[in-house]
Amino acid sequence: MCKPLCRSWNNASGCTRSRNKSGANRGGDDVPFFACGLSCVMHPRNPHCPTMHFNYRYFETEGGTWWFGGGTDITPSYIDEEYMKNFHGTYKEVCDRHDPEYYPKFKKWADDYFLIKHRGERRGLGGIFFDDLNDRDPDEIFEFCRDCANNVVSAYGPIIEKHKNDPYTEEEKRWQQLRRGRYVEFNLVYDRGTIFGLKTNGRTESILMSLPETARWEYDQHPEPGSPEADFLDAAMNPREWV
């Protein structure tokens, strides 16, 4: 599901901060703001096809402070190393076209941001993530965001084409549902966009559009050592360098 975001001036109170380049913070004051962006999430039914999410956004306060944020990340249930290299490699190429420091910085930012702290594991296998980006001409950053969004298909499409018709077992589907439980936990507990949207009286149905259709939880569940599921969990706990 894709969700375009385009808001006129609204007030945010207590849940966001007015930023400027000197670091001034107006704390809990009302902050009139403008926001626009695009969010998209894909939750395929086949457990061999990863979930993918991207979001690129622009914020501007009434006082003239502005910034861009966003990223693209992938959440498989099983690791296909060739296509993980393609996904991360595509975004490294995009980043390198704009700033060679972007990919290592934004890849680590994604690994840190998507950590489910109470589990000690990431939601998925990362990608790129950034926020508060206003260190250069806004047109340059907009072109970077546009380049990122325009490369979602080349980063994500090949793995879907490869696996969309794969057969799968009930156990593989069960594992996918358990991982989607982790997806729900992150989005409802830690995701900044979800928290911000709910606290600014946004449209609830749109804010929660990123959640999967179904999910599962089991008490104290652990994958069998040496299994593909255990390999995925290790990668979620210990981020890997794919390119």
Lowest mean pLDDT of 15-24, 25-34, 143-152, name the range. Answer: 15-24
pLDDT digits (tens, 9 = 90+) for 61-120: 888 899 999 999 999 999 999 999 999 999 999 999 999 999 999 999 999 999 999 999
Give dist(CA 114, CA 239) in Å, integer: 11
Q: How far is CA 225 from CA 26, 176, 231, in A?
A: 50, 17, 8
Look at residue 131 and tell me whether its pLDDT is greater than 60.
yes
Q: What is the mean pLDDT of residues 176-196?
A: 95
Q: pTM, whole model, 2 decimals?
A: 0.87
Specify whether the backbone of 38 is left (phi greater than 0), alpha (psi in -120 to 50) or beta.
beta
pLDDT tier at 172, thresholds 50, 70, 90? very high
User: Residues 123, 183: contact at Cβ < 8 Å?
Assistant: yes
Which pLDDT belongs to residue 6? 46
Containing 53, the helix (H) or strand (E) segment is strand 51-61
> Is residue 53 flagged as an active site residue?
yes
Rounded CA separation 85/101 (Å): 19
CA 131 – CA 213 distance, rounded (Å): 28
Residue 123 sits at φ, ψ, to 5 deg, of: -60, -40
List the catalytic residue out of 53, 118, 163, 222. Answer: 53
Distance of CA 43 to the CA centre of its chain: 13
Report pLDDT for 28.
Answer: 54
Task: Go through 31-65 and write b for each residue having 16 or more CB atoms within 10 A of its CB, e for each that does not.
Answer: bebebebbbbbbbbebbbbbbbbbbbbbbbbeeeb
Q: No. of H helices and E strands in the chain?
A: 8, 7
